[in-house]
A = this chain, B = another copy of it.
Amino acid sequence: LEICGGRRGACAAADAVMPVWILLSSVPGLKAEDGGMEELTTEKEAEESHRQDSVNLLTFILLLTLTILTIWLFKHRRVRFLHETGLAMIYGLLVGVILRYGIPATSYHNKTPPSCSLKEGPASTLLLNVSGKFFEYTLKGEINSREIHNVEQNDMLRKVTFDPEVFFNILLPPIIFHAGYSLKKRHFFRNLGSIITYAFLGTAISCFVIGNLMYGVVKLMRVVGQLTDKFYYTDCLFFGAIISATDPVTVLAIFNELHADGDLYALLFGESVMNDAVAIVLSSSIVAYQPSGANTHMFDASAFFKSVGVFLGIFSGSFVMGAATGVVTALISFFGLHCFPLLETALFFLMSWSTFLLAEACGFTGVVAVLFCGITQAHYTYNNLSEESTKRTKQLFEVLHFLAENFIFSYMGLALFTFQNHIFSPIFIIGAFIAIFIGRAFNIYPLSFLLNLGRRHKIRGNFQHMMMFAGLRGAMAFALAIRDTATYARQMMFTTTLLIVFFTVWVFGGGTTPMLSWLHIRVKQEYLFTSLFPCRRVGVDPDQDLQPCGDSFQVLQGDGPQAEGQSKTKQESAWLFRLWYTFDHNYLKPTLTHSGPPLTSTLPSQCGPLASCLTSPQAYENHEQLRDHDSDFIRNDGDLTYTFGDTSITANGASGGGGGGAAEPAWSANGKRSGSTSEEALERELDSREQELLSRGTRLVFPIEDHI
């Protein structure tokens, strides 16, 4: 409908909402198919093309179906070396090869399209006058003059090539929202400082290291004569930004399955979620950095600071917007809707979507807003939802996330063969592989050293190596790379990104299990468990799976040196964070949710009337229990292995009285499964009680004096 010319950054934000709207508004319809066009020769062509469209989409659906069936087989046989995303890529590749080489490029167009000349610049709408009848045309974009005669020939390949904005605006939001929404973890909040450091500082370091290294590579290419077109310094930095977004989905899936260390999981997951947001904003700031007027694309202090300003502005704006929508949803859900899970879920979905639209309408980044919206929803709204809605919303976003993720990965496989502007440059590709390795190292090791100075619970060497190893690239890097493939530099970046994603997902993803044992990172044995309840352990969200629930921890090979240092986590959080926690726990949570202590006990006594007005009746009931839970957690948190015996006993008594909903009904039906011994029943009971306890609000772990 409209074109998006000129500077990409400014345009990208405004353009981003388009696809969602397109989906609803710009479908070519039957409006104009009246009388005058009855004898058009294009009718058959249009019909044929529509069928082609649905066949193309069917291809993707069948690809996904095939992937699902194979994953099922793999999960059934406990194959761990290939994750579903890797599999989706392989199937995508195969179909890509077939589409590219298997099918003759038959075109149903027989002639090149008519052309007409104008002196003015291209407008978004063009009227065509054919013997008195007017037809409305919409600008699709510029095409190279060498492609004019190609336009009609490779129709099919063009058709399976999606518009990049689809990835940003339709496929990424559910993935990102789900990541934010499933963040609700003790381990995440315990490591929040480190996660933010890795995500912000680390991604920036990685971006600049990679950018500068690649600039060296580009200079080398120019010397060798391999560079045939322009490649600026800002392009290199842009590449650094897009390739710094890690996505260790494969590694995390295996961690999840093997119940690897919770802190390490939280560090990796948290970092990958946050650095996606950082990479998006960083890349658009770099585009905005372009020194005005000049074509030097070299360093310019004022433009640099402008970029930093843009970064901070967009990021904080999106953050505030996402958090605000989350808080509004929490407030709405606070006042009822409990009895109507369908309404609750629908409202939840609509509010989360409106965050995206609102951010785009205000010129911020929708994806970033959706991430923080997800986190806020999980922190506050989740506590207000009815038991059924918590499950519904989780499952809804789980399905959306699953479909979107696998779609992106299978499209990546396809794109390697169907995308028509690949530029394979061996030097650039090798350079990029080395650069991302060095960039990751400059991110992880120095920052870990700095963080360890402040952390009581140190990030040990084997954890650092694992984080280094888990620097996979995935959906976000791809989406950022495909967003703009107009120039020579961008095309080369796209090809390289694609190869990096393939390599890291297959090689690093596949090597996770060996790496875990090689690095002596302990995992929990779960074979006993899964053999007893084969249907239970898969597809359950990581929130629940990662809670260690017994003493069956063991190290895969040998014994890690992690016994010391674990019992000192209590004081780990910084004062700023502690301040926030106190504020959140004492004032925000009671105001926005039904959990937390009643405001009457936390607000100064002169605010009494206001406090009792804002506190929900339930809060009083919950208060006594919460006291127990919190203090219990804090006292025992140091050593996970010995924690849960205590906890479960305390919690058992407390929650039995409260009668709150258990997290998983299957588990609260104690003793209903036939054939389980009393020990198993006890273990399950402990597990279920613990989940119940954990599901009752985010437990942050550090001492609050008045609770002990």
Contact = CB atoms under 8 A, between A and B. Distances in A.
A29 B539 contact: no
A115 B126 contact: yes
Most buried by B among A32, A51, A162: A32
A640 B482 CA distance: 62
Given A35-B487, A135-B143, 6 more contacts: A7-B38, A14-B51, A25-B161, A75-B343, A134-B145, A668-B672
A560 interface: no
A249 to B, nearest CB: 14
A28 B5 contact: no
Which A-B residue pairs are the 3 nearest by beta carbons?
A: A32-B141, A5-B37, A115-B127
B22 A28 contact: yes
A606 interface: no
A23 to B, nearest CB: 4
A163 B29 contact: yes
Interface in A15-62: 15-43, 45-51, 53-58, 61-62
Contact of A57 (B17, B34, B148, B487): B17
A673 to B, nearest CB: 8
Contacts of A317: none
Contact of A76 (B1, B27, B163, B336): B336
A358 interface: yes
Contact of A338 (B45, B50, B162, B535): B535
Contact of A342 (B33, B65, B162, B399): B399
Contacts of A132: 145
Contacts of A546: none
6 contacts: A3-B40, A27-B166, A31-B485, A116-B118, A120-B130, A668-B672
Contact of A665 (B24, B50, B666): B666
A483 interface: yes
A231 to B, nearest CB: 14
B164 A37 contact: no
Interface in A644-695: 659, 665-666, 668-669, 672, 674
Interface in A343-369: 343, 345-347, 349-351, 353-354, 357-358, 360-361, 363
B358 A31 contact: no
A330 to B, nearest CB: 14
Interface in A306-359: 332, 336-343, 345-347, 349-351, 353-354, 357-358
Contacts of A71: 340, 343
Contact of A65 (B72, B347, B668, B674): B347
B10 A72 contact: no
Given A5-B43, A29-B163, A47-B10, A113 B118 contact: no
